[in-house]
Structure 1
């Protein structure tokens, strides 16, 4: 097999995760969804925004990123 520049794609099977949040956090997430709609002209469900928020948060956490590199 040839050495391709693109590595094998990771598992992309969605995983459903159920969490319980406080009413205050729900209100903040609803406000964020409204701000998102104002900025981009499209309403997105909170459940669609949260994964992107978590990815961004984890990517920006330098301490976690350093630990992730050490764990590999």
Structure 2
């Protein structure tokens, strides 16, 4: 188990929110331990979805057009 004094860790976080506009990417450095932890933003970017992909994703919100097969294939695309 690493000690509380171990070196900082660089992490990448990804999210695609309900606006379905793209994928947000953050690269952060986390240092310290527990309540003394610090997080420093190193880089951030939003990568927009191509319009055909966004249209397909938005179709998943409609119960009439939603399909498990479509969801699974878009999971690979995203």
TM-score category of the 2 structures, normalised to the smaller one: under 0.3
**TM-score for both structures, normalised by structure 1:** 0.25
Structure with a larger share of its residues in helix: 1
Structure with a larger share of its residues in strand: 2
**TM-score for both structures, normalised by structure 2:** 0.24
Higher gyration radius (CA): 2
Which structure exhibits the higher relative contact order, with contacts defined as CA atoms closer than 8 Å and separated by 6 or more residues?
2
